[in-house]
Structure 1
Amino acid sequence: MRIVLVGPPGAGKGTQAAYLAKNLSIPHISTGDLFRANISHSTELGKLAKSYMDAGNLVPDEVTIAMAKDRMEQPDAEGGFLLDGFPRNVSQAEALDEMLQSGGMKLDAVLDLEVPEDEVVRRIAGRRICRNDSAHVFHETYKRPKQDGVCDECGGELYQRDDDSEDTVRKRLEVYHTQTEPIIDYYKAQDLVVTISALGKVEEVTQRAMDALKRGDDRK
């Protein structure tokens, strides 16, 4: 299957992408991973992207598109893939369509993870990270530490990252609504969108997604 995963920040896209890709036996292609890999290996695209980032500028769509194209042409993606973070806007969605069509391929589904905005803010703004080890993550609502402000694992100080503040989260949501959400309508016109609730336990959401993808596949 060839799937695009869409949803607001805090919807759990990265977590669901990993589970779904494993269940479907297809590679999980994340924009963040693509950038890190290209930059760390000093590829031509990586150098180009880094030059924009170092100057404090957004990386142009054509660079992101070229990275995605290169990754989708790798042998492990021949049987399908799950895209996470790409396309991020309608221009990128149009470019993806052109790429696939030129190779005689098409998308099978666009999985839209739906989460109420207040829940997104609650999920992200409630996160607290250990200063000693960023892998130790707690939450004011869902995973409270035994002692406020102290990591259960190592006793380190727990803090809120700047980009997890409520104001920042709401700004990120505005960007999502303006730039990324329009691709849902774009793909609805192609009858590709499968929308599910991303509320509940991780495994519940994964099963919900698998069931919805199967129903969508059965309709074709």
Structure 2
Amino acid sequence: MLNIVLFGPPGAGKGTQSEKIITKYNLTHLSTGDLFRKHLGEGTELGILARKYMDEGRLVPDEVVIGMVGDKIKSTPDTNGFIFDGFPRTVAQAQALDHLMEEHKMSISGMIALEVEEKVLKERIRERGKTSGRTDDQDENKIQTRINVYLEETLPVAEYYKAQGKLTKVNGVGTIDGIFADISNVMDEY
């Protein structure tokens, strides 16, 4: 079973590359952003709570996120594997994910980290904001907050997987297909 953490800052291209990975490797996409949007769209209590944090550009608390991820894993027993997109975002979440995977007799195969410089990230996020309708993609302060949160709270997750020998960095700048070819080369080694 192939279980991949696709990692990178906001605007690195995780969503775009996830789609291509899912198609080629027949993996189940597990995006906390999608889980949150589902709850937001349904107006659930969790969705309302998540909206508060997301609108401020902050991370949703670990226990909420981990519970949602655990439910998704349990509800998808016949998968070829998972691609975790935007999760884990903290070392505590990475540790909890390892524990969840062990409970289901699985493990993380590897982390693929897309690397993109900050100037390019901001350009991509602003451009996405023009078409997505996401308010957090249109506000310069929120964009900077999201990047700062990534650098301070999320980037250490890469070190966590590096210590396990599971981290591979991929240049996230180039053509979509070129970046995907680099990702595929890494995944084919797992």
TM-score by length of 1: 0.74
Larger proportion of helix: 2
Residues 127 and 52 of structure 1, relative CA distance in 2, 3 Å threshold: closer
Please point out which of 152, 168, 190 is paired with 2:164.
190
Matches within 5 A, 1:89-108: 89-108=90-109
One-letter amino acid of the counterpart of residue 36, structure 1? R
The 8 Å contact of residues 27 and 76 in structure 1, kept in 2 or not, is answered as: no
**C-alpha separation between the residues in 2 aligned to 1:106 and 1:97?**
7
1:5 lines up with 2:6 in the alignment: yes
1:22 partnered with 2:20: no
Aligned to 1:170: 144
What is the CA-CA distance between 1:170 and the residue it aligns to? 2.7
What stretches of structure 1 move > 2 A for 4+ residues in a row? 36-42, 46-60, 74-79, 121-129, 160-171
Q: 1:127 to 1:33 in 2, by over 3 A?
A: closer
1:47 aligns with 2:45: yes
Q: Is the 8 A contact 1:49 1:59 kept in 2?
A: no
> Shift of residue 111 of structure 1?
0.8
Opposite residue 92 of structure 1, the aligned amino acid is: Q
1:151-210 deviations in Å (ceiling 9; x for gaps) = xxxxxxxxx966435444333211100111000000101111111101111111111100
In 2, the alpha carbon distance for the partners of 1:128 and 1:183 equals: 27
Match status 1:213 vs 2:154:
no
Q: Does the 8 A contact of 2:90 with 2:156 survive in 1? A: yes
SS of the residue corresponding to residue 75 of structure 1 reads coil
TM-score normalised by structure 2 residue count: 0.85
3-state DSSP of counterpart to 2:188: helix
> In 2 relative to 1, CA 112–59 (structure 1 residues): closer, same or farther, beyond 3 Å?
closer
Structure 2, unaligned runs of 5 or more: none
Measured in 2, the distance between the counterparts of 1:14 and 1:196 equals 15
Q: Is there any run of 5+ residues in structure 1 with no aligned partner, and where?
A: 138-159
For residues 39-78 of structure 1, what are the structure 2 equivalents within 5 Å? 39-41=40-42, 46-51=44-49, 53=51, 59-75=60-76, 78=79
Give the total of aligned pairs. Answer: 186
Question: Aligned partners of 1:8 and 1:161: how far apart in 2?
Answer: 18
Between the aligned residues of both structures, percent identity stands at: 35
Distance 2:116 2:49 in 1: 35
Q: Say which SS state the counterpart of residue 86 (structure 1) adopts.
A: coil
Q: Distance in 1 between matches of 2:50 and 2:148?
A: 23
Matched residue SS, 2:100 = helix
For 1:33 and 1:128, the matched residues in 2 are separated by: 17
